[in-house]
Amino acid sequence: MSPHLSDLPRLVYIGEVPVRNISAGPALLYRLLESYPQGRLLIAESNDNAPRPDCELPVPHQRFPLLNRRIMRTRFARAYGAWVFRRAPAHGRRLAARLRHFQPEAVLGVAHGFGWLAAAAAARTLQVPLHLIVHDHWRSYLSIPPGLNAAADRLFSATYRGAASRLPVSPEMEALYRERYGAAGVVIYPSRSATAVSLTAPPLRPPQPGAFVFAYAGSAPSVGQRRTLADFANVTAGLGVRLRIYQSLTLEELRAVGLRTDNVDIVAFRPVDALHRDLIESADAMYLPMSFAPEDRDNVELCFPSKLTDYTVAGLPILVRAPTYGTATHWAESYPQAAELITTESETDLAAKVRRLLEDIPHRHALARGALEVGHRLFAQSSVFQVFSQAIQKPQNES
């Protein structure tokens, strides 16, 4: 049973990741917090994030000094990162003094960049519980000199163990962190928007002859991830397939990693509700690859593909292509009714799976129904918010 709203603490989010209804991490936070009672929530973001009232929650916001992101993109990034690493707790303590008027009862942080250091320090200063979300492997986005690695690991270990609740985004991350840091967590999947389309049956429009559309919606930050898109287009061009990519990539970037065909359409970024409508109207299936490159293994092994929240809204069959150790692989193995799975880089295997989706109509329809049902169950905003609210609710004697 979900806690009553009065059981939820007066919560302050403190972090480097903004809470925005846009994309990626900011959107995940926005969706998680959009059902939080407005009078019990305050958002404090790094002042390196410019205000965006058009896509922010209608709750009080504060900015606090943390870092200059422009310097983090220069050759001085690690040296500057060392300075930010040492100063972040002091910024958190000063922020706590500014927040006392709100009478916080809990602090929410995200283990990303340097923001968790400020959140943990603020929680200690305010003497309130810290609740820690882990969307990405915490070490992946902490740019510091190698000499600080051991100190950072000790500090994160103490912070993770000391948090009142630990909220990793995947079962794989929860298991690894439990083993590594000696504290159990509660898996919290990414959620859909509260206003997301809610289909009762898959759309299943008749595919256009010779133009079966697979869609990819999500970031592609690494060479390995971009290569999975180029490889797919190359292999499927002869099967009458087009790849529709919703991302700020360019065809030149895909050609740089091996694209040789002309069956790729790049679609400009659009708000999530518009994305859902476009997928329903324009796509026949969804493509969910994860990089096979060794340098991407940490993220592939630990980070949950949040694009599944949007893929399953559309009620379309999903083709997952990922290494055996990938979180997307484990998801597809757990829910075989929702996705077709390939765990090799073989072009022959890929072509065979795509051909089956094109030719076996009952199988394609069954996967679409499975994706819709599993998505409703795992990623609905109400389901995810219930997990979150149970994790952070106040002890009964404080209600």
Over the stretch 145-199, which tens digit does the pLDDT of each residue have? 999 999 999 999 999 999 999 999 889 899 999 999 999 999 998 888 877 777 8
In a domain, 207, yes or no: no
Predicted confidence band of residue 117 (pLDDT cuts 50, 70, 90): very high
The predicted structure's pLDDT at residue 324: 96
Number of domains in the chain: 2
Report field, pTM of the whole predicted structure over 0.85: no
Domain of residue 178 covers 5-191+380-398
In a domain, 199, yes or no: no
In the predicted model, is pLDDT for residue 339 greater than 90?
A: yes
In a domain, 123, yes or no: yes
3-state secondary structure labels for all residues of 170-210: CHHHHHHHHHHHCCCCCCCCCCCCCCCCCCCCCCCCCCECC
Mean pLDDT confidence for 294-299: 88
In a domain, 247, yes or no: yes
**Mean per-residue pLDDT of the chain:** 90
- Give every CB contact of residue 220 below 8 A, 6+ residues apart in sequence: 226, 229, 247, 249
Q: How far apart are CA 242 and CA 294, in angstroms?
A: 28
Q: Do 96 and 177 fall into the same domain?
A: yes
Predicted confidence band of residue 399 (pLDDT cuts 50, 70, 90): very low
Mean pLDDT confidence for 102-119: 95
Q: How far apart are CA 316 and CA 338, in angstroms?
A: 9
Q: Do 347 and 229 fall into the same domain?
A: yes
Q: What is the pLDDT of residues 32-78, one digit of tens each?
A: 898 899 889 999 999 877 777 778 889 999 999 888 888 888 888 89
Q: What residue type is assigned to position 374 of the chain?
A: V
Predicted confidence band of residue 210 (pLDDT cuts 50, 70, 90): confident
Q: Do 32 and 157 fall into the same domain?
A: yes
Look up the CATH number of the domain holding residue 11.
3.40.50.2000
Q: How far apart are CA 126 and CA 100, in angstroms?
A: 8
Mean pLDDT confidence for 311-339: 94
In the predicted model, is pLDDT for residue 274 greater than 60?
A: yes
The predicted structure's pLDDT at residue 272: 77
Q: How far apart are CA 398 and CA 113, in angstroms?
A: 33
